[in-house]
Amino acid sequence: MASEQCEHGDVELLGTEKGERGVNKYFRCRKCGAVLVLSEEGVLYEVPAAREQLGSR
């Protein structure tokens, strides 16, 4: 585990998606590359950026 976590202070809006009752918003952190999803219920999900590309088999 990394000893230092990104605070995602500098994000860009990637887009929105209509949900059942509202809108999901997608952001990307400009510092670490993680994608953040703010759900229509107000829950924030984080999808970490890929650290390296997997080699072919």
Burial per residue of 8-18, b for 16 or more beta-carbon CB atoms within 10 angstroms, e otherwise: beeeeeeeeee
The token pair at 9 is 């202070």
Average confidence (pLDDT) over 27-56 = 89
| Confidence label for 54 from pLDDT (cuts 50, 70 and 90) | low
Residue with the larger pLDDT of the pair 49 and 1? 49
Give, for 25, the enclosing helix (H) or strand (E): strand 23-29
In 1-57, which ranges are E strands?
11-18, 23-29, 35-38, 44-47
Sole residue written with tokens 């890929």: 50
pTM (two decimals): 0.76
Domain ranges of the chain: 11-47
Distance CA 11, CA 50 (A): 17
pLDDT by residue (tens digit) across 1-36?
A: 444 689 999 999 999 999 889 999 999 999 999 999
